[in-house]
Amino acid sequence: MRDLQPSLNQTQRVRLQSALRQLHSLPSSSSSLLYSVAVAVAVAVADPIHVNHEDNILKGHGTLDCDGEVVATLCGVVERVNKLVYVHALQARYKPEVGDIIVGRVIEIAPKRWRLEINFSQVAVLMLSSMNLPDGIQRRRTAVDELNMRSIFEENDVICAEVRGFQHDGSLHLQARSQKYGKLERGQLLTVPAYLVKRRKKHFHHLEQYGVDLIIGCNGFIWVGEHVEAGENVGMLVEDQKKTSIAEEESGSFTPLETRKHICRIANAVRLLSALGFTLTVEAIVDTAEASLASNIEINDMLGAKLFVQTVEREVQRRASMVRKKG
């Protein structure tokens, strides 16, 4: 997504450069990052970091003191908090913490466990004993349950779960014991840099005006899909689920066209914000989608130059407004 480079005409190029200069002149904000297009200082390994000969500089992550000069040990963007100078890596991988809400894809079914890809250095493990069974009854797992694992989740299924913790062997274990966790269907899975997602109290969002569910995974996997009530189909036997799916196919009960359009519009808003390097929040995503509607921009044109420039200009206005309020 970070490779989005829309072709700008002369007017749009001037507007973008002006907006970037204003954005760079404003105080930095943790709620907005503009790594890919901003004029922030980007460094490679062994590049010097200019600190204007200040005293008592604290050298943080990605920096090293070499002959009295601060140099970078990572490729990234120089960040500064008071006296602390550090390098924010552009391609940093997800670092799990207990309680994180994540979205992952099943890549393997092993004895009593599923293995998931979650944008981590290792695959994550979801044990059969760490999730609710389809019948909803709390009981010990049996050999029959193990044989029926593929009927619950199979390869390439998208799943929402919670980080349970690390085991002694270093593996990351997940749990899905709540009704809000489980298999995700009828939507799109988007992958963004994990550092664009900040940990918040709420990662599940129901966008009522669009009839869409938005799950912003802490691991950089974002799900945009048709709204499903919590607990829907929970407690239904596997055979009943198959019968329901067949009945839906025969009756033509699929995701409505209007809902599919909303899913694509929200997904393109995520892609645009990710390409710009902005922190992904539900407010920013909805605001971008509504701005595209207000400007009569079609879904397939959302990644074009017009909305690209408008989004940067809106961010400048938002941050300038925040500065005025603080002043």
Note whether residue 71 is domain-resident: yes
Question: What is the predicted pLDDT for the residue at 30?
Answer: 38
Note whether residue 83 is domain-resident: yes
Q: Any bridge partners for residue 72, and if so which? A: 63
Helix (H, G, I), strand (E, B) or coil at 292: helix
Question: What is the predicted pLDDT for the residue at 317?
Answer: 85
Note whether residue 137 is domain-resident: no
What domain count does the chain have? 1
pLDDT tens digits for range 93-112: 788 999 999 999 999 999 99
Note whether residue 49 is domain-resident: yes
Distance CA 57, CA 261 (A): 51
> Are the beta carbons of 309 and 19 closer than 8 angstroms?
yes
Q: What is the DSSP track for 88-139?
A: EETTPPP---TT-EEEEEEEEEETTEEEEE-SSSS-EEEEEEEE--TT----
CB atoms within 10 A of CB 55: 6
pTM for the predicted model, two decimal places? 0.77
Note whether residue 157 is domain-resident: no
Structural domain for 58, as ranges: 36-89
Note whether residue 302 is domain-resident: no
pLDDT band at residue 3 under the 50/70/90 scheme: low
What are 36's two structure tokens? 């890919």
Distance CA 56, CA 35 (A): 27
pLDDT band at residue 204 under the 50/70/90 scheme: very high
With a cut of 50, say whether residue 161 has pLDDT above it: yes
Q: What is the DSSP track for 129-183?
A: EEE--TT-------HHHHHTHHHH--TT-EEEEEEEEE-TTS-EEEEE-STT-EE
Query: How far, in Å, are 42, 57, 62, 67, 69 from residue 52 at the CA level?
Result: 17, 10, 19, 16, 11
With a cut of 90, say whether residue 171 has pLDDT above it: no
Nearest CA among 125, 112, 215, 228 for reference residue 175: 125
The CATH number of residue 67's host domain is 2.40.50.100
Note whether residue 293 is domain-resident: no
Note whether residue 253 is domain-resident: no
pLDDT tens digits for range 273-317: 998 888 899 999 999 999 999 999 999 999 988 999 999 988 888
What are 302's two structure tokens? 């959302």
Question: What is the predicted pLDDT for the residue at 251?
Answer: 47
